[in-house]
Structure 1
Amino acid sequence: TSPPRCAMARPAPRPYALPLAAPPDGAPAMPSPNPTSPLARAFAESAMPLTERGGAAVPEAIIDPRLERAALETAAGLVDLGFLGHFTAVGRHRQRFVHNMTTCQVKALTPGQGRFGLLVEQKGHVVAQLVVEAEADALRVEVMREKAEAAMAQLVKYRVADDVRFAELPGLHVLAVLGPTALDVVPEAEDLDDYAFRDVDLDGVPARVRRNPARLGIAGVDVTIAEDDAQRAYGALATRGALPCGQAALDAVRVASEWPWDGVDIGLDNLPLESARLYATVDWDKGCYIGQEVIAMTHYRGRPNKLLRRVTIAADAPDAAGATLTAGDKAVGVLGTASPVAVGGERTALAVIKRKHAEAGTILGLPGGGTARVEGGLDAPSA
């Protein structure tokens, strides 16, 4: 790995302390869900409201979602990605095998390089979004914690004579500094290519920093540390100038930029080409991989049957992910993530909608009598 880059000397700042959130109306200080990591326990001890994401407890909001969203869009926000997990691939065929199982280029990676891609099944449906990092003697694969078991099972299913072995890699925690000034906060990543990484000393905390061009809708830097070091790293990044942000603000920006949440907005019922953002994970020059034939056929005929779209719902409308969208008495779509941040009495959500009902301005029905207005969305390029 590359040695740490030397940062300019900076004055010794006061250590960052987690803000104490006063529980409303005498509510108990320990929020629900139960903390699932040392950092989550620290948030809970500060009476910080937690929410469940991908099997992990993470902060819903730190200060105010609107201020936090502004930081993510105009400066640098610090987000807890404790819902991400890891496993490793070792063996002399590891890169060739994972290359043949994913949409991204893996075989040509050299140590220190990485790629964002998808693991898909034989019909081209999305099993998991992932980041693959090439180390000197292994691959490190990052997925949603709740997807790790299914991802490894999908890989092992096709392992025959290949010399490749998979194992969980517990004990790691991911933070992200996101926004246009993220590299001012983490200059150690300034000269890295997209998804490339290096191991550094982050103000006394061993860390891996990775350039993230826009995986969550916002350019920035992912910072991976040991779970037991997560609170120290969080404090160091906040002290450097990143504003702590919760999931509500991250969701608001992610929905606005149409980045699908793995397993909620796009999953096993979907092809990558239904989302223009996930289209970018497909390397069209890499050759065959599991699911490639269906994905290529859909691309070259240029017509996925469903499309990821932004829709507008009332601020107080039920927003359960998985709710059916209807046109008359016909089911034509599925609601995904709804932004928790309302603007002008309305909220934006993501939804996968049948193509003929996905035109901007179309009004669709929600359970309980509400409506969703299609606002449009990005289309994947056609051949």
Structure 2
Amino acid sequence: MAALSDVPGAVVDDAGLRHVGSPVAEQRRLASGSALAPLGERRVITVSGEDRRSWLDSLSSQALTHLAPGVSTELLILDPQGRVEHAASVVDDGETTWLIVDATDAEALASWLTRMRFRLRVEVRDRSDEVSVVGGTRAAVAALRTVAPVWVDPWPDVAPGGWAYARVEPHPGVDRDWAEAIVDAVELDRLIAAAVAGEVAFAGREAVEALRVAAWRPRVGVDADERLLPHEMDWLRTAVHLSKGCYRGQETVAKVHNLGHPPRRVVALQLDGSDSVLPVRGDVVRAGDTVIGAVTSVAVHHEEGPIALALVKRTAPEGVPLVVDTADGAIAAAAETIVPADAGATAAVPRLPRLGRRRAAE
């Protein structure tokens, strides 16, 4: 039986396939639909039983009671103070609700859901040992033999009950075509064998992350810390229903959105790549000598070059040169506002053309 490490050019680590030799070329293939990405960093939890959707609705930020089979959405589990604890991509097949989650969060989320069952007619199962997740464009994953409906990423569309803070038009994720399919072990083995034989092109995690970061798409296993509010990452777009019933953390979500401002805000960084130095998660971001935040995600994009997402103070200055401190020295950076400083009570302002994105011709 072939393994991922047998795929020509494959570099594999504990989280799965990093790349197959050329992350930049892999991005292009992924975006065009000519490659698939085995997502070893993703896991699957199922919730079955008659009460599953209303139960998940009561626990999470998303309205799920009437979720139709095959419709894709996502949810957040918040703590009592409204901070993000867990996140999941959600699709239902009419009998079972399938949750695709980051591997680092799967065990904790499954355990928490199990503890919250009480006497309701629900069953929670961690299916990570039985199934795997494969990503790509909708057309690319449509050819796979799946065990559940394909989850289609709703980002950056504003879901019913959601809200968008980013004001730029067009949003950099507007052309994002991303879907994740759940397959069994037989189908995954077939795909790996086809990739070893050169019949299927694979792309690794570095390519997937580059496309995600360029689209300003948050990911809980990378971008969240113990203080993250969904507002800070513009996550009200797809993961929060502002007019649904009560759930844990709902009071904070409503207060910050309606009456206040999130204490931090996400920005997109264009990094100076002249020294071939990249920051890592947690590296400090400065405006002059003042520390204003930290990097959450980093990637090298096939059009934009080295890019990152960072969480900065709400009061951090805009339009000024920034510096990211790394173990190998300082890197110059230019920030593009995603969540503005006045997000919240005064969020309904006119949208502006996006000027900061590099043109492919440059």
TM-score normalised to the size of structure 1? 0.72
Q: How does 1:106-125 map to 2 (within 5 A)?
A: 106-125=64-83
Q: Which residue of 2 aligns with 1:78?
A: 36
- In the alignment, is residue 175 of structure 1 matched against residue 134 of structure 2? yes
Q: Which residue of 2 aligns with 1:366?
A: 325
Displacement of 1:44: 0.9
Secondary structure at the aligned position of 1:356 is classed as: coil
**Residue 357 of structure 1, aligned match among 279, 292, 316:** 316
Cα contact 2:89–2:99 (8 A) shared by 1: yes
Q: How does 1:337-348 map to 2 (within 5 A)?
A: 337-341=297-301, 347-348=306-307
Question: Deviation string for 1:178-229 (max 9, x for gaps)?
Answer: 2xxx42x4557xxxxxxxxxxxxx4xx4544415145595323322111242
Cα contact 1:118–1:126 (8 A) shared by 2: yes
Q: Which residue of 2 aligns with 1:281?
A: 239
Alignment RMSD (CA, Å): 3.2
Using the alignment, how far apart are the partners of 2:258 and 2:197 within structure 1?
49
Q: How does 1:296-307 map to 2 (within 5 A)?
A: 296-301=254-259, 303-307=261-265
Using the alignment, how far apart are the partners of 1:225 and 1:57 within structure 2?
16
Q: Which residue of 2 aligns with 1:268?
A: 226
Question: Deviation string for 1:317-336 (max 9, x for gaps)?
Answer: 34221222234555421112
Cα contact 1:175–1:234 (8 A) shared by 2: no
Cα contact 2:279–2:298 (8 A) shared by 1: yes
Using the alignment, how far apart are the partners of 1:71 and 1:276 within structure 2?
28
Q: How does 1:168-247 map to 2 (within 5 A)?
A: 168-169=126-127, 170-178=129-137, 182-183=138-139, 185=140, 202=144, 205=145, 207-214=147-154, 218-233=176-191, 243-247=201-205
Task: Identify if the C-alpha distance between structure 1 residues 343 and 115 changes in structure 2 by more than 3 Å, giving closer, same or farther.
Answer: closer
Q: How does 1:44-59 map to 2 (within 5 A)?
A: 44-46=5-7, 48-52=9-13, 56-58=15-17
**Residue 332 of structure 1, aligned match among 292, 297, 302:** 292
Task: Identify if the C-alpha distance between structure 1 residues 236 and 221 changes in structure 2 by more than 3 Å, giving closer, same or farther.
Answer: farther
**Residue 103 of structure 2, aligned match among 145, 151, 160:** 145
Displacement of 1:341: 4.5
Question: Deviation string for 1:122-155 (max 9, x for gaps)?
Answer: 2111122212232444322221122112112333
Using the alignment, how far apart are the partners of 1:274 and 1:226 within structure 2?
36
Cα contact 2:91–2:151 (8 A) shared by 1: no
Q: Which residue of 1 aligns with 2:168?
A: none
Q: Which residue of 2 aligns with 1:65?
A: 23
Q: Which residue of 1 aligns with 2:45?
A: 87
Return 5+ residue gaps in structure 1 as ranges.
1-37, 189-201
Cα contact 2:73–2:153 (8 A) shared by 1: no
- In the alignment, is residue 129 of structure 1 matched against residue 80 of structure 2? no
Q: Which structure ranks higher in relative contact order (CA pairs < 8 Å, sequence separation ≥ 6)?
A: 2
Using the alignment, how far apart are the partners of 2:70 and 2:89 within structure 1?
13
Letter of the structure 1 residue corresponding to residue 337 of structure 2: G
Task: Identify if the C-alpha distance between structure 1 residues 167 and 326 changes in structure 2 by more than 3 Å, giving closer, same or farther.
Answer: same
Letter of the structure 2 residue corresponding to residue 378 of structure 1: I
Question: Deviation string for 1:82-111 (max 9, x for gaps)?
Answer: 221122223443222211111212111244
Displacement of 1:277: 4.6
Cα contact 1:89–1:138 (8 A) shared by 2: yes
Question: Deviation string for 1:282-322 (max 9, x for gaps)?
Answer: 11222211111111111113521111111133333342212
Q: Which moved more, 1:136-145 or 1:281-290?
A: 136-145
**Residue 57 of structure 2, aligned match among 99, 104, 113:** 99
Task: Identify if the C-alpha distance between structure 1 residues 111 and 330 changes in structure 2 by more than 3 Å, giving closer, same or farther.
Answer: same
Cα contact 2:271–2:334 (8 A) shared by 1: no
Task: Identify if the C-alpha distance between structure 1 residues 117 and 77 changes in structure 2 by more than 3 Å, giving closer, same or farther.
Answer: farther
Displacement of 1:63: 4.7
Question: Deviation string for 1:228-268 (max 9, x for gaps)?
Answer: 42031456799999743222222222111111232221243
Cα contact 2:35–2:203 (8 A) shared by 1: yes
Letter of the structure 2 residue corresponding to residue 244 of structure 1: F
Displacement of 1:363: 1.3
TM-score normalised to the size of structure 2? 0.76
Displacement of 1:165: 3.4
Letter of the structure 2 residue corresponding to residue 361 of structure 1: V
Task: Identify if the C-alpha distance between structure 1 residues 278 and 240 changes in structure 2 by more than 3 Å, giving closer, same or farther.
Answer: farther
Cα contact 2:135–2:141 (8 A) shared by 1: no
Displacement of 1:366: 1.1
Task: Identify if the C-alpha distance between structure 1 residues 279 and 105 changes in structure 2 by more than 3 Å, giving closer, same or farther.
Answer: same
Number of matched pairs:
321
Using the alignment, how far apart are the partners of 1:75 and 1:360 within structure 2?
36
Letter of the structure 2 residue corresponding to residue 359 of structure 1: E
Q: Percent identity over the alignment? A: 22
Q: Which residue of 1 aligns with 2:359?
A: none
